[in-house]
Structure 1
Amino acid sequence: MTRETTSFVYVTYIRSTPQKVFEAITRPDVARRYWGHENVSDWKAGSKWEHIRANDERTVELVGKVVEISPPTRLVMTWANASQADDPSQYSRVTFAIEEYDTMVRLTVTHDELEAGSGMAKGISQGWPAVLSSMKSFLETGSGIDLFAKPKSA
């Protein structure tokens, strides 16, 4: 039986350069400033990467491998909860496509090969829009957004 999969595509435009957007994804010291996590790897095809919470506990929350890397325009990696790292069926794929677009960058994030209805699919459908908004704010203003903000009561 084949599992049903789903995918999400997010596109945002950022007043920045491809190099700065690529660094915002791959440099731990930059990612922690808008994401609250660090993406740690040597960023070579076939290398592992870890998504580590940037706090005192330094919890590894996500893991995967770098599938393809072409700085500063493309990064493809596998993606799974650290607790499910031993199960190949739990891995999905994230592709970052970074394109110069007039005086800005068009960033397209495609998260595919997700198990339909899974906790990961539900989580990333809310997570990516917030993270990408925070990245955009950070790169344009120097300050990310509060990723843990809740809606105000009416």
Structure 2
Amino acid sequence: MSSERTTLVYVTYIASTAEKVFAAITRPEISRQYWGHENVSDWQVGSDWAHVRDNDEHTVNLVGKVVEIAPPHRLVVSWANNSQKDDPQAYSKVSFEIEDYDDMVRLTVTHDDLVAGSGMHMGVSKGWPIVLSSMKSYLETGRALDIFAKPKAA
């Protein structure tokens, strides 16, 4: 596998407030509604965070550290599969930038330092678009998307 690193950037406009979008990312009772996972941390710089599946097993899928936090406009976390938590090379970084934009917000998610072509790179490149669409739907309508949906066979 290549050791080349890559970055993914996603921009979403949401008819909401910066406070509500920030809460949707950091409050487990909200993130489970549109993501099927709870983002769990005390949200202090240097603290652990975990991405915990909202199911009976409460499986920890992702782990990392809070790198930077400035509510309600910026959050940066390190990011790795739980199974690779002891490998420093497995970590990437996710930045959430939330900007007021007229009567809505612009959410920019930048996923940096991904190993190009890795399982994580491939997974998040498919995952971020539906997760962010689901968040937008949830915040704007109260109804999330099925993020576990699969394409219909032709």
1:20 alignment partner AA = K
Alignment of 1:53-92 (within 5 A): 53-92=53-92
1:41-120 equivalent positions in 2, closer than 5 A: 41-120=41-120
Query: Whole-Å Cα distance in 2 between the matches of residues 65 and 50 of structure 1?
Result: 9
1:74-106 Cα offsets, whole Å, 9 max, x none, are 000000000000000000000000000000000
Structure 1: 4+ residue segments shifted above 4 A = none
Paired residues for 1:4-19 under 5 Å = 4-19=4-19
- Count of aligned residue pairs for this structure pair: 153
What residue identity is the alignment partner of 2:83? S
Letter in 1 for 2:142: G
Structure 1: gaps of 5 or more residues: none
Unaligned runs of 5+ in 2: none
**AA of the residue aligned to 2:9:** V
CA RMSD of aligned residues (A): 1.0
Instruction: Tell me the TM-score normalized by structure 2.
Output: 0.97
Determine helix, strand or coil for the equivalent of 1:151: coil
Query: Shift in Å at residue 148 of structure 1?
Result: 1.6
The residue matched to 2:145 in structure 1 has which SS? coil
Q: Deviations over 1:106-132 (max 9, x none)?
A: 000000100011000000000000000
- Give the superposition deviation at 1:149: 1.5
1:22 is aligned to 2:41: no
TM-score by length of 1: 0.97
The reply on whether 1:141 has 2:141 as its aligned counterpart is: yes
Q: CA deviation at 1:152?
A: 2.7
